Amino acid sequence: MSVLEAKDLTKIYRRGREEIYALKHVDFSVNPGEFVSIIGPSGSGKTALLNVLGCLDTPTSGSLQLNGTETNGMKETDLVKLRRDNIGFVFQQFYLMPTLTARENIELPLLFSKRDGNKSKIDDVLEMVGLADRGDHLPGQLSGGEMQRVAIGRALINDPKIILADEPTGNLDSATSKMIFELFSELNMKGLTLIIVTHNLDLARQAQKMYTLRDGQIVSCEDLACVQGRDDLVIQQEVVRA
Amino acid sequence: MNFLSLAIKNLLRRRGRTLLTVMGVAIAISVLFSLLSLNSGYQKQLDKEMNSLGANVLAVPKGCPYEAASLIIHGGVIPKFLSESDLQKIRNISGVELATPMLMEQFIKKNSITGKDEPHIALGINIDEYKQLKPWWGVQGRFFTNNETDVKLIGRALADKENITVGFVMPAGPFKGFTTVGVLNRTGDQDDNFHFVPLAEAQRVFNKTGLITTIAIKVKDVNQISEVSAEMEKIPDVQAVTMTQVMGTVMNLAGSAESLLMTVIAIALIISAFGIINTLLMSVNERTKEFGMMKAIGASGLDIGKTVMAETLFITVIGGVIGTVGAIVGSSLIEGYVKGVLPYTPRGSLIALSPELIAFCLVFSVVLGLICGIYHAFKSSRLTPMEAIRGGIE
């Protein structure tokens, strides 16, 4: 069963009398443990799709099932719960709280989910994102890559089933971008489902499936799982971990 | 981490603005606290002052009865007098338990320490009757007798101020050569600042033989005050003023000043409230993207509202505490100002501090916070994540 399944999604934004079709009859599904990338030119509807998939925005029409639950017509309070239990978000701008340390930023979702925020769990997440020794630093004292790692840690703390990332490397240099993608690949190998919107084709090709959007429509879906480069990368990462 | 610590950290992000808002609240609460404590203190002190006179009714010369009564209570000179025969007539009224004459005069005397000329109040009294009027009087040294000459008593504050002890002989002034036979124990009222001499001596020194400024009357039954007053007013030249009337007049005068102060405090509170609302509005508008992020990572509308509310309450509670403590610490300054503004103020401390008043001011600051924060908390909690991430609220 798909962890996320969208059928005939349409999203229209209205600006005065003008109607802007951000998404046009999009069908989209993701299986558990899949690593999916979405690419496309600016204005193609990538972020709109990600926001609808993440229940941050509601589609104008169509249906979206998250973990078998139909989200269409759900109240905001129920959507909050659904998001909290299933989805972790990573944004291009990081959106870290500047007065909270890396550790506290990671801990923040636990305040809202009222889950037990024991220290060891936060330590584990810090370790996982490679910031074990930077937990007490404020965002202003961290590099862009480190801030994005904190944001990824924050997305992971509630044990989500899916991570949605919107241009997670958009503000980072290429070396740091590569490291962030490696982190995503590692998380995926641990069984986490990932959907990533990006402009960076090289990075997008590291996913198992790559969707291309243009003018609000999916124009192609490439299965990259068997591509040689991808296999090489997986083997390389497994060697590194061993 | 909890919502309060999150709120505090958010507020510390804009320290200057937070501090200014807190000070705005502190000033408003400080004014509120001062006025309320003054109001209750004023009434208490006035009650005490009226009671310390020991009399239920004053007989004053016809004219401006309330002004005369106020002058007599506080110490002052009125240019009209009653006579010994008026005193006898009052004593003959049934219902009068005690009627004692007083001659009050003002004189200028050099301060023995600073050398500056200062106004003093001397009261000629019948000591035996006066002690019945004021049974709480105690003395260091002794009381004079009515027939003694060249003797006087002085109030404790006056003795302390001029460093006068029992046995001191006045070197100059109208009471030159008078020996201080006793210093009254502190009473906490106007008596602390007066000179007391036998009535005959006061009449001799001030050349007012047979004249009386006022007669203090104690009635047998307080329910008969109005009947006794009516009888007294049948005597030509005598006007009866009851303590209740004096108090009512003074409270009316103070009431007008109080209305003015109430207006000031209302304006201060409104300005402060708008300051808080403005600060929060700016703070909320600046952080819509942050609220969007918070919703995306699992915050409900209620969680966002709680964060905004916690920030508001933190500002107002801290402001309330600073304002209340500031008002207590600066109460003497405020009192000095008010004494200068009000037409009549009793002696002694006008500021009455009570735990209830402190609690009221703190609760008021919380309520102020709730009123100011509720709109922003509601508005920000209603944002959908995408609205927040994309733009802002108006």
Closest CA to A92 of B293, B343, B114: B293
Size of interface A-B (CB pairs under 8 A): 72
**SS3 helix, strand, coil % of chain A, rounded to 5?**
40, 25, 35
Within this chain, do residues B222 and B268 fall inside the same structural domain, yes or no?
Answer: no
What's the whole-number mean pLDDT along residues A4-10? Answer: 90
Domain boundaries, chain A: 4-241
Q: Which of B236, B265, B293 is the last residue of a domain?
A: B236
Residue B245 maps to a domain: no
Whole-Å CA distances, A36 to A48, A206, A223: 16, 9, 9
Distance from CA of A233 to the nearest CA of B (A): 31
Distance from CA of B302 to the nearest CA of A (A): 9
pLDDT class for B338, splitting at 50, 70, 90?
Answer: low
Within this chain, do residues B42 and B87 fall inside the same structural domain, yes or no?
Answer: no
A211 reaches B (C-beta below 8 A)? no
Question: Which DSSP letter does residue B186 get?
Answer: P
Q: What is the pLDDT of residue B183?
A: 94
Backbone angles phi and psi of A48, in degrees to 5: -60, -40
Boundaries of domain holding B340: 3-48+251-390
Q: Which residue has the tokens 């301060």?
A: B111
Q: Which of B177, B206, B236 is the last residue of a domain?
A: B236
Within this chain, do residues B68 and B42 fall inside the same structural domain, yes or no?
Answer: no
ipTM rounded to 2 decimals:
0.80
- Domain boundaries A4-241, CATH class: alpha beta
Query: What token pair was written down for B197?
Result: 């001499």
SS3 B373: helix
Task: Name the burial class of residue A54, with classes exposed (0-12), middle (13-18) and buried (19+) by CB atoms within 10 angstroms of its CB.
Answer: buried
pLDDT digit string, tens, across residues B328-337: 887 777 777 7
Chain B residues within 8 Å of chain A (Cβ atoms): 1-3, 6, 9-10, 12-13, 289-290, 292-301, 303, 384-386, 389
In chain A, residues with a C-beta closer than 8 Å to the C-beta of B298 are 80, 83-84, 109, 112-113, 158
pLDDT class for A240, splitting at 50, 70, 90?
Answer: very low
pLDDT class for B388, splitting at 50, 70, 90?
Answer: low
pTM of the model: 0.63
pLDDT digit string, tens, across residues A209-231: 999 989 888 888 888 765 544 44
In chain B, residues with a C-beta closer than 8 Å to the C-beta of A76 are 301, 384
Within this chain, do residues B218 and B263 fall inside the same structural domain, yes or no?
Answer: no
How many whole angstroms separate alpha carbon B335 and alpha carbon B257?
14
Q: What is the pLDDT of residue A91?
A: 84
SS3 B391: coil
Within this chain, do residues B135 and B283 fall inside the same structural domain, yes or no?
Answer: no
How many whole angstroms separate alpha carbon B381 and alpha carbon B383?
6
